[in-house]
Amino acid sequence: MIGYQSITMLKCSACGSVKVTVLINGKPYCTYCGAKILRTHLVRTLLNMKKEGLITSIIDVESYEDP
């Protein structure tokens, strides 16, 4: 219960929304910013894997990057 109460008082680290639904690296984020950050993180991880030859270059990871 204490954990639930404390998360409702948090604000999104990115946009300041009080509708915090997720914690990423200990920082609170709303659904929108959380999804955006996870997506960016995933693309970065995939790019690193591609650089190290862990995934095939056929996968066009770059096209998923934000402009």
CB of 26 to Zn ion, least distance (A): 16
Pick 17 or 55: Cβ nearer Zn ion:
17
Where do contacts with Zn ion occur on this chain (CB under 5 A)? 12, 14-15, 17, 30, 33
What DSSP designation does 7 have?
H
CB of 49 to Zn ion, least distance (A): 28
CB of 9 to Zn ion, least distance (A): 15
Q: What are the tokens at 56?
A: 């095939």
Q: What's the distance, CA 56 to chain centroid?
A: 24
What DSSP designation does 20 have?
E
